Amino acid sequence: MLKTGKKYLKRTFLGLMLLIAGYLIIAVVLSVMSTRPKELPCQKDKEVFITTNGVHLDIIVPKDFLDIKIQRDLQIDAEVAYVSFGWGDKGFYLETPTWHDLKLRTAIKALFLRSETVMHVTNYTTKYDHWLVQRVCESQLELLIEYLTHSFTRDGEGEVIEIVDSGYTNHDTFYEATGNYNGIYTCNEWVNEGLKKAKIKTSIWSPFDFGVLYQVKKQ
């Protein structure tokens, strides 16, 4: 009986390792493979930005590119020049301000369950050198802004739903978001999907940040 139990555990562990290895291999391959979006007949004379904290990607756009309604919804002050949008697991974002705060329960839920999500909005008064530039045309910009604004959950009156007192600083806020987070559709794949929607060449699938970063640097 003991031998049978050990054999079962060994097979389970081996199967799990093979599953993880397969996931990582597929992630790398599809991250470096590029989409082939239809070329839009417009000049790429505008800039948006992609940034990472080493794990998690954000999309950053100049405030003036956002329409007045979303600026009002997000209560963006006049001195703000750039607005960053990040999407992700609600528990991970709100319960894990630093990696030191990471709990095994939170990580397992984020990876293996269809968890609730939030939008993390951060305001900047200046541009930073480490942001990667993604040049877009007017049509691509409109598609990207539409994607960002539709990622917010709205109440019955069409207003975004702020999670009160949830920001890490005085310059960021969390809002309820649409969609669910899991190991296939991650925070980074949300950014990747936004670029796809905007007909920007990007990774076929990018659950980690390096895929999108590779594609942006390559352009």
Strand 117-124 versus strand 172-176 pairing type:
antiparallel
- DSSP string of 135-202, one letter each residue: EE-HHHHHHHHHHHHTTB-B-TTS-B-EETT--SSTTEEEEEBSS-B-SSS-HHHHHHHHHHHTT---
pLDDT in tens, 75-114: 999 999 999 999 999 988 887 655 555 566 656 666 666 6
Query: Is it the case that residue 182 has pLDDT exceeding 80?
Result: yes
Please provide the average confidence, as pLDDT, over all residues in the chain.
Answer: 90
- Report whether 61 contacts 147 (CB < 8 A): no
Q: Cα(51)–Cα(131) distance, rounded to whole angstroms?
A: 5
pLDDT in tens, 15-59: 778 888 998 999 999 999 999 998 888 999 999 999 998 889 999
Best-predicted range by mean pLDDT among 2-11, 60-69, 97-106, 165-174? 60-69
Is pTM, for the whole model, over 0.85?
A: yes
Query: What's the one-letter identity of residue 193?
Result: E
The model's confidence at residue 219, banded by pLDDT at 50, 70 and 90, is confident
Q: Cα(34)–Cα(111) distance, rounded to whole angstroms?
A: 25
Query: Is it the case that residue 12 has pLDDT exceeding 70?
Result: yes
Query: Is it the case that residue 197 has pLDDT exceeding 90?
Result: yes
Closest C-alpha to 214, from 29, 91, 31 = 31
Q: Cα(46)–Cα(135) distance, rounded to whole angstroms?
A: 6
Give, as one character, the DSSP assignment of residue 204.
Answer: S
The full set of domain ranges for the chain reads 33-218
What pLDDT is recorded for position 191?
98
φ and ψ of 120, to 5 deg: -105, 115
Helix H or strand E encompassing 216? helix 209-218
Instruction: Give the tokens for residue 139.
Output: 């049509």
Measured CA to CA in angstroms, residue 174 lies from 100, 159, 210 at distances of 20, 14, 25
What pLDDT is recorded for position 111?
64
